[in-house]
């Protein structure tokens, strides 16, 4: 056999085997590569934002802090700084820098480790979008192949834009817009040359060069980037020197923005049911809410001030380690929109929401439901009822129940108006007994109380536990002409393109007649003008409400409303221990409620409570109930249904 022929056959076999191995390696490497055509519809994860009713930013939800922006608004300085720092030959290669790879391989072999990378911007993008961060030959091959494909299908500008919106800059910032906001409190288009250079130096090692962690290293890295730009004639000498001299000014947002944290946490639960948590954290939604930030801040400030005062009083009463809690809840009377909410004094220390989740005894703040049923049954507010000691049989072998007034004083016959205004217990119990406890409970449920209510006379004294949210919703029925509105927190949700994908609509139901609502509102207004709620008179505007205090001063409440806003405040200890002597609803809760309502009246036209055609205004003696044709000394104007 001819020797040349044998050598030829051997050469063909070797080449064929090598080609087969190369083909096998290629197909083995590429068989599980992702399809980059998906980039045509690719939308990076972005930040969802929550806004108050007046457009203030309340919170941000994100898995990665990212705000995609078009390349056109990214400063040229930042583009040049990134390219010259990360991939100086970006506009000259086809996705892979062969010289850079050769240089890196030599260094890695000499060091017997992966000490230097040679990834181009396109390769980094491919790795970020499609691959893991594993350091291996297989991953590098896939990265190179994907980079070639990206370069074939997309322009350099498109690749650079994707890269700038994907790259991690540390401190939770993904993309140049989020980085500019987190570090400098401004949009990327507003960055100075020095700020652009600082950001461009971060992708190499975001944690090491972070200006929040190590300002000195960040400045040294920034200055190195500036030198590169200057040496490569991308910036002038005067601009270079000015940028070197620019001090580091970090005025950005550190961490997630969260105002009204209890409201935001409540909102998160609502959003989970509407759009799902995946979309909330990834889709860049805009959530418009009902929250009034001015009212929220007024409530928080008043809570801090008055709870500090309460703690001081508790210490004077020798209560060890006082740590009382507080909650408030306010809604728009007409729509049910939640205007303010706090479930405690400090969300970070205690995220449990005492406004929506905690069930506590309402005490005397439950009494309006008894008097409301009486009005509905045709009993006028000047009806006399006996205020004297009473005993109720509890059955054979059991001690009789003998309720008492808070003051331990009794007034004989009193009008319903005065009994409610002064929060007398005995008249409320007698009235509930005559109306029927089951009927009182049904009336309360009709107005919005959803918690279980006991079927015994102690219900009249507010012994059945409810939430502050339930009570406030029920009270809002009175100034809303008898219409119950379910609390709502979200007005609309928009996608990242600004299209409305969900809209909130108020939910209304008639709970009692307009005339009955007007009369009970008038009686609750007497609590402020003539009774236990006089502390609210300083607001100088129409207000109505009711105090609530439970046994041994364990809970202090005030529930009430203006023609526009209904609100409730609760104060108590989480462990149900007493707040201290004489810490009533009027003393511990009313001051916070009054501050809330004072703010709620701001920028609203003066209005009075509803006075429908079915009721008439008369002058009555609040003690005897006698009606006078004209105002007389000691008489008060009061509403009566026209029977």
> pLDDT, tens digit, for every residue of 266-297?
999 999 999 998 899 889 999 999 999 999 99
DSSP state of 589: I
Beta-ladder partners of 50: 59, 287
List C-alpha distances in Å: 457 to 136, 409, 446: 76, 20, 19
- pLDDT tens for 36-62 read 555 555 566 788 999 999 999 999 998
Angstrom distance (rounded) from CA 89 to CA 123: 13
3-28 exposure pattern, b = at least 16 Cβ within 10 A, e = fewer: eeeeeeeeeeeeeeeeeeeeeeeeee
Asked if residue 228 has pLDDT above 70, the reply is yes
Asked if residue 303 has pLDDT above 90, the reply is yes
For residue 528, give both structure tokens. 């402020």
Q: Out of 246-250, 486-490, 529-533, pick the least confident.
A: 246-250
pLDDT at 177: 93
Report the predicted TM-score, pTM, of the whole model to 2 decimal places: 0.80
Of the candidates 491, 504, 444, the one whose C-alpha atom is nearest the C-alpha of residue 470 is 444
Angstrom distance (rounded) from CA 32 to CA 131: 11
Average pLDDT of the chain to the nearest whole number: 89
Parallel/antiparallel/unpaired status of strands 286-289 and 490-494: antiparallel
Band of pLDDT at residue 207, cut at 50, 70 and 90 = confident
pLDDT at 89: 87
The catalytic residue positions are 86, 364
Band of pLDDT at residue 18, cut at 50, 70 and 90 = very low
φ/ψ of residue 230, rounded to 5: -70, -45
- pLDDT tens for 483-508 read 999 999 999 999 999 999 999 999 99
pLDDT at 244: 96
Quickly list DSSP for 517-578: HHHHHHHHHHHHHHSTTGGGGGG-S--EEEEEE-GGG-EEEEEEE-SSEEEEEEEE-TT---
> What is the percentage of the chain residues whose pLDDT exceeds 70?
87
């Amino acid at each position: 056999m001819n020797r040349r022929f044998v050598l030829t056959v051997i050469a063909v076999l070797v080449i064929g085997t090598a080609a087969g191995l190369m083909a096998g390696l290629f197909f083995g490497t590429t068989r599980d590569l992702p399809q980059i055509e998906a980039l045509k519809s690719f939308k990076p994860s972005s930040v969802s934002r929550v806004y108050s009713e007046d457009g203030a930013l309340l919170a941000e939800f994100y898995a990665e802090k990212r705000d995609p922006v078009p390349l056109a608004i990214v400063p040229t300085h930042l583009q040049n700084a990134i390219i010259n720092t990360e991939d100086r030959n970006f506009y000259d290669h086809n996705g892979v820098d062969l010289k850079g790879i050769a240089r890196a391989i030599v260094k890695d072999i000499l060091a017997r480790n992966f000490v230097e990378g040679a990834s181009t911007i396109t390769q980094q993008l491919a790795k970020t979008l499609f691959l893991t961060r594993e350091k291996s030959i297989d991953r590098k091959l896939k990265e190179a192949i994907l980079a070639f494909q990206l370069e074939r299908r997309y322009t350099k500008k498109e690749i650079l834009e994707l890269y700038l919106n994907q790259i991690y800059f540390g401190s939770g910032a993904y993309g140049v817009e989020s980085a500019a906001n987190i570090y400098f409190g401004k949009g990327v288009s507003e960055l100075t040359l020095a700020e652009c250079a600082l950001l461009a130096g971060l992708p190499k090692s975001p944690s090491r060069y972070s200006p929040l962690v190590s300002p000195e290293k960040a400045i040294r890295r920034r200055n190195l980037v500036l030198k590169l730009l200057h040496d490569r004639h991308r910036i002038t000498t005067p601009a270079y020197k000015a940028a070197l001299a620019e001090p580091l000014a970090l005025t950005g947002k550190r961490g997630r923005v969260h105002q009204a944290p209890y409201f935001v946490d409540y909102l998160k639960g609502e959003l989970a049911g509407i759009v799902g948590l995946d979309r909330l954290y990834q889709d860049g939604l805009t959530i418009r809410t009902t929250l009034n930030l001015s009212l929220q801040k007024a409530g928080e400030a008043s809570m801090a001030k008055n709870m500090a005062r309460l703690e001081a009083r508790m210490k004077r009463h020798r209560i060890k380690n006082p740590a009382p809690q507080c909650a408030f809840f306010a809604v728009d009377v007409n729509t049910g929109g939640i205007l303010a909410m706090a479930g405690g004094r400090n969300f970070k220390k205690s995220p449990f929401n005492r406004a929506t989740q905690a069930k506590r005894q309402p005490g005397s703040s439950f009494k309006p439901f008894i008097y409301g049923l009486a009005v509905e049954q045709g009993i006028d507010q000047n009806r006399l009822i006996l205020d004297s000691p009473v005993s109720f049989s509890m059955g054979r072998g059991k001690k009789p129940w003998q309720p008492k007034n808070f003051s331990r004083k009794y007034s004989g016959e009193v009008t319903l108006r005065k009994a409610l205004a002064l929060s007398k217990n005995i008249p409320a119990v007698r009235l509930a007994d005559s109306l029927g406890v089951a009927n009182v409970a049904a009336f309360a449920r009709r107005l919005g109380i959803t918690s279980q209510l006991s079927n015994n006379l102690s219900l009249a004294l507010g012994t059945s536990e409810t939430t502050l949210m339930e009570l406030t919703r029920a009270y809002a029925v009175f100034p809303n002409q008898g219409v119950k509105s379910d609390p709502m927190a979200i007005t609309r949700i928009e996608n990242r393109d600004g299209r409305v994908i969900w809209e909130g609509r108020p939910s209304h139901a008639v709970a009692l007649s307009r005339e009955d609502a007007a009369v009970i509102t008038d009686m609750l207004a007497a609590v402020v003008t003539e009774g236990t709620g006089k502390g609210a008179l300083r607001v100088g505007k129409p207000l109505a409400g009711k105090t609530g205090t439970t046994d041994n001063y364990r809970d202090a409440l005030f529930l009430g409303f203006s023609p526009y806003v209904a609100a409730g405040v609760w104060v108590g200890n989480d462990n149900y221990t007493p707040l201290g002597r004489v810490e009533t609803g009027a003393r511990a809760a009313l001051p916070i409620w009054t501050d809330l309502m004072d703010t709620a009246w701001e920028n609203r036209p003066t209005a009075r409570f509803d006075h429908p055609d079915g009721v008439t205004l008369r002058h009555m003696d609040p003690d005897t109930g006698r009606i006078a044709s004209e105002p007389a000394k000691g008489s008060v104007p009061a509403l009566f249904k026209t029977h």
